[in-house]
Amino acid sequence: MGLMTSQQITLFLLMFVRVTAILYLLPVFGHKIIQPRLRIGIAFFLTLILYPLAMANPVPEVGNLPGFFWMVIMEVAVGVTIGYFTMFIFAAVSFAGSLIDTDMGFAMVSMADPIDEDIMSTATGVLMTIIFTILFLLFNGHYYLLMALQKSFELIPVGRAAFPSEPVMQAAVNSVTLVMEIGIRLAAPIMVALFITSVALGVIAKTMPQMNIFFVGAPLKIAVGFLTLSAALPGMVKLFEWCVQRMYQDVWALLKIMAVT
């Protein structure tokens, strides 16, 4: 095999930029427990695998250094956009945990989020994130992410991405709306059970004023919350499996929006 031409080297570097940008934001792959050197090594390995696929498209021509930097910025934008859309599914899980903890009285208990250690999450949110991260791997979510990465080079040739403002913004709004919908659906059984518990405690407080309702209510709501969470977990698993499928569909739709026709 002969030496690579300057255009082929440029193509490889731009592919590496896109893959690295996506990996830094993908669920599981973007976790800070994965060292940057390892993540860069994974990105380099994936670029080597995907390079023959990208060679099927015309190799981008870069006339000067500013043009190359502009293409680098464009590839980073493509990677960041795809990566952020894949993060919405875990944002919904964390949002559901926050809603549950607000009712259970754990809203003041916060710790580093397992997916993104730069933000703080509530105790139940962390627990649900860990559970659903395991489920994400069991449902082959990582496979869908890698397949989306491969499809991105088929639909969006290197250096030829399009960012139509209205469709991209509409897709972002739909994703945020979906985060709130899924979060509420995940938290609904526990929130309903805790609401009924609060009503029952209110009735008891009126009928038995000598009882210290605050002393009894806090541990009771915690117990009811975790018991309901355990009972509702099978239904949550089914919903989360649908969410993984929906994530891939949304990323696929996003790739078609950014594809140059």
For residues 160 and 134, which has the higher predicted lDDT (pLDDT)? 134
Per-residue confidence band for 110, with pLDDT thresholds at 50, 70 and 90: low
Contact 115/55 with Cβ under 8 angstroms? no
Contact 96/261 with Cβ under 8 angstroms? no
Q: What is the 3-state secondary structure (H, E, C) of the chain?
A: CCCCCHHHHHHHHHHHHHHHHHHCCCCCCCCCCCCHHHHHHHHHHHHHHHHHHHCCCCCCCCCCHHHHHHHHHHHHHHHHHHHHHHHHHHHHHHHHHHHHHHHHCCCCCEEECCCCCCCEEEHHHHHHHHHHHHHHHHCCHHHHHHHHHHHHHHHCCCCCCCCCHHHHHHHHHHHHHHHHHHHHHHHHHHHHHHHHHHHHHHHHHHHCCCCCHHHHHHHHHHHHHHHHHHHHHHHHHHHHHHHHHHHHHHHHHHHHHHCCC
Strand partners, 109: none
CA 40/CA 102 separation, integer angstroms = 39
Per residue in 46-94, pLDDT (tens digit) is: 888 888 877 776 666 766 777 778 888 888 888 888 888 888 888 888 8
> Above 60 in pLDDT, residue 1?
no
CA 11/CA 13 separation, integer angstroms = 6
Cα Rg of the chain (Å, integer): 23
Residues of the chain with pLDDT > 90, as a percent, come to 2
> Above 60 in pLDDT, residue 116?
no
Per residue in 19-51, pLDDT (tens digit) is: 888 888 777 776 666 777 888 888 889 888 888
> Above 60 in pLDDT, residue 115?
no
For residues 244-251, average pLDDT: 83
**In this structure, what are the phi and psi dihedrals at residue 111, rounded to the nearest 5 degrees?**
-150, 170
What's the pLDDT score for residue 192? 92
